[in-house]
Chains A and B, each alone.
Chain A
C-alpha cells in the first residue's frame, strides 16, 4: 500500500472513531470534544495566516467574536435558523478579514502582531457600546439547537456531529488549498517575500486573501461556538482568547493542518488537568507545560511527529539490507 492510500485509511479510521464517540461518551464529554473541534477550526484559520503565510496575528479572537455575535444577533433578533448563520458569519468575516489584510500589507512581524492585538482588545468595548444589537455587557442568551428531521440524537450529540461535519469540510478544503499551487505560493511568500514577488506571485493579493480566508475560518468557529455554548457576552472574547488561539496554534504545530486539532486539544484539556494537579496555582502548572512543550517540541506537536517520522524512515532505510546498485563497472 502506498503512502497516499495509507494516509487515507488512517484518516478514515480516525473518522470512524470520531463518529462513534457520541454513542460512548457522556454529554458533558461530548460538549468538551465539540469545543475542541470549534477551536480546531479557529486554529486552522490562524495557522493559515501565521504558519503558512508568515503574517503574525495576535487578534484572531476578534474574528471569533465577530462570527459568534453575527450568529447570535441573527438568531436573537431575526429568528434566523442557526444553520444559516454559520455561512453568513463566514462570508462576513472573509470580507472583514480581507479589508483588514489590505492595510496590514504595510506592517511586518511584530508591528502586525501588535496591530492585530489592538483590534482584539477593542472588540469587547465595541460590543458593549452597541448595546441595542449585542445586549451589551449582559450578553445574549441563545437556545441550543435540537436535531433536525426528527433524528434520534440529543442536542449535544447533534451539535457534535454538526461541528465535526463542518470541521471535515473546512479541513478538506483547507488541505486542498494549502497542498496545491495556491499553498505553495502562500508558503513562498512567507519564506522569501521578494523572491516570490520576483517569480510573479501577486504577493499583495495573496496576502490579503489569506487574511480573509483565515478570518472566515475563525469566524465560522465563532458562529458554531455561539450555538454550542448558547450564550455570548463581551467577557467571553477578551485578549486572553486571542492569546489562547495563538498558543494552540504554536503548540499544535504552525504550518500544519493536523496540528490544529492537536493544539485545540491542548488548550481545551490542559488547563483542566492543571487544575486537577494543583488547586493552589493551576496556571503556574499550565505555564510550565507551555515552556516544557516548547523545549521538547519547538515546532509543535505536529512538527515533532513529523521529525520522528522522518527519523524512523531514515533508520529504516539505513537498516534495510537492500543491495547496492553499483554503477556499470
Chain B
C-alpha cells in the first residue's frame, strides 16, 4: 500500500511539471486560438535569464520577479513583432512561425550559454518531509502548490475581470469585439505576455529538477501536450487534472504492469490520451464547439 501511495505522490509531482507548462500552452490557445510550439523554448529562455541574474549575484526572489516582468514584455513583443504579420495567414502557416520561434530560442540559448547543463536553485528547502512512511520532496509539494495557485489566478482572471472577458471575446469573435471597441491586436499581445509569464514560472520551477539546458523543455513539452490534450485545451482546470493523471498513471503502470514495465511508459501515456480522445474528442473537460451550418 505504501508504495502505491508513494508512486501516486511522485506522479502528482511529475504531473504538476507537465501541468504548469501545459497551462502556458492553454493560455495562448484561449487567447489567440494558436498552439505555440515555441512555448517551452521561450520558457527555457526566460529561465536562463533568471539564471544569469542569479549568477550575477541577485537574490532569488528578486531575480524571480524580474524574470516574470521580462517574460511578459518579451511575450508581448514577440506577438506584436513576429506574429502580427501572419495574423491572417492560414493556421498551419502560423504554426510554422511558432516552430521557427522554437528553434530560434533554443539555438540562441545554446549560443549564449552553451549546451552544458547548469544546476538551478530551488526556493524550497531540500530536506524531504515525511508523513508516515511516505516521503514528500519539499520542492515537489511547492511545485504542486504553485501550479494550483496559477490555475486559480487564470480562472479568476478570465471569469471575473473585465480584461479577461475582453480577451476571451477577442479570441472568440474578433470582428464583433472590434465593433465593441476592444483593441483586438493588443488583446492577443496581452495573451502572449501572460502566457510567457506562466511559462517562465513553469521553467523556474522545473529547472531545479531537470537541470537547466537549452533542450530542457523538449521532453516536458511533449508530455505537456499530452496533458493538455487529455484535459481539453479549453479548460485550464482540465489541463492541470490531465497533467496529474498522466503523471500518476505513468508511474502506476511502470510499477504494477510488469510486462510493460518502464520500457513502454511513454507509449502507455500516449495510448491513454488516444483512448480518452475517442470517447471525448475534445478532452475530458473541453467544451464541444457547436458549428452552425
Contacts and interface: CB of A to CB of B under 8 A. Distances in A.
- A and B directly contacting (CB within 8 A): yes
Contact of B97 (A121, A282, A291): A291
A110 B233 contact: yes
A106 B264 contact: no
Q: For chain B, what secondary structure do more than half of its interface residues adopt (helix, strand, loop), or is it mixed? A: helix
A113 B225 CA distance: 11
A287 B38 CA distance: 11
Interface string A116-144: 01110110011011000000000000000
B225 A288 contact: no
A110 B35 CA distance: 8
A158 interface: no
Interface in B234-293: 263-264, 266-267, 270-271, 273-274, 277-278, 281-283, 291, 293
A214 to B, nearest CB: 15
Q: How large is the interface on B (under 10, 10 to 19, 20 to 34, 35 or more residues)?
A: 35 or more
Contacts of B96: 246-247, 250-251, 290-291, 293-294
B158 interface: no
A111 B111 contact: no
Interface stretch (B8-16, B82-90, B182-190): B82-90
B266 A125 contact: yes
A294 to B, nearest CB: 5
B48 to A, nearest CB: 14
From A56, A118, A289, residue with most partner B Cβ within 10 Å: A118
A115 interface: yes
Q: For chain A, what secondary structure do more than half of its interface residues adopt (helix, strand, loop), or is it mixed? A: helix
A121 B108 contact: no
Contacts of B95: 246, 250
B67 interface: no
From B35, B82, B273, B291, residue with most partner A Cβ within 10 Å: B273
A194 interface: yes
B225 A114 contact: yes
B196 interface: no
B49 to A, nearest CB: 17
A250 B101 contact: no
A281 B110 contact: yes
B35 A254 contact: no
A110 B111 CA distance: 33
A239 interface: yes
Q: Which 9 A-B pairs have the closest CB atoms?
A: A287-B104, A290-B100, A284-B107, A298-B89, A283-B107, A118-B270, A287-B103, A287-B100, A281-B111
Interface of A: 50, 56, 103, 106-111, 113-115, 117-119, 121-122, 125-126, 128-129, 194-195, 239, 243, 246-247, 250-251, 254, 280-284, 286-291, 293-295, 298-299
Interface of B: 29, 35, 37, 82, 85-86, 89-97, 99-104, 106-108, 110-111, 222, 225-226, 228-229, 233, 263-264, 266-267, 270-271, 273-274, 277-278, 281-283, 291, 293
